[in-house]
A and B are shown apart, each in its own frame.
Chain A
Amino acid sequence: NAGVTQTPKFQVLKTGQSMTLQCAQDMNHEYMSWYRQDPGMGLRLIHYSVGAGITDQGEVPNGYNVSRSTTEDFPLRLLSAAPSQTSVYFCASSSLRGRHNSPLHFGNGTRLTVT
């Protein structure tokens, strides 16, 4: 299994440009999420989804859009990039089946620089 595949690994944008960070998982996980990681701060949740057609906002959703048209894919769109969105972005997924929580599986991250 590939697990969680995130692309691209690196991206440089100019202020005002838009782009989409791709995330795909092959584990049939219901839960998918996007985080950003900034120096000195913990991972912060941007958006998440508990199944196809269902998305919700996390802690820092402004400037980002998501959609979940299939179980496998959960793309993150930056509508108009700003320097404040310079960060490392992680996609993660987990199963929601069963009574107990299940571990999170992370992608390898995307390092985004907005100039």
Chain B
Amino acid sequence: KNEVEQSPQNLTAQEGEFITINCSYSVGISALHWLQQHPGGGIVSLFMLSSGKKKHGRLIATINIQEKHSSLHITASHPRDSAVYICAVRSSGSARQLTFGSGTQLTVLP
């Protein structure tokens, strides 16, 4: 079983829809990252969480440490949100290494 599981693997939405991407992990962590990878390949850090909730524009990230689960929400989705969204965790036992999920491919149709 992978340490980091993302769901769904693929998601297609209509412009304007509310989107949720989920990330579950099996180890104790010191931080969880959400990353965005655009079709051109570049990877951008969206959020880093150790507890609670963070918001940036239309993006919201939440984490429940007890349930070992995090969600990334996109409100009022737009075609430019189409990308691969990647969850990564830094385990509390290995402060220098991240374990990555395999990503969620999001396509937002106009």
Binding site for B on A (CB under 8 A): 31, 35, 40-45, 48, 50, 56, 58-59, 88, 90, 92, 100-106, 108-109, 111
Contacts and interface: CB of A to CB of B under 8 A. Distances in A.
Contacts of A105: 45
* Chain B interface, DSSP helix/strand/loop, else mixed: strand
A69 B2 CA distance: 34
23 contacts: A31-B96, A42-B86, A42-B88, A42-B99, A42-B100, A42-B101, A42-B103, A43-B88, A44-B100, A48-B97, A56-B96, A59-B97, A90-B43, A100-B50, A101-B48, A101-B50, A101-B90, A104-B33, A104-B88, A105-B45, A106-B42, A108-B42, A109-B43
Contact of A42 (B4, B41, B45, B48): B4
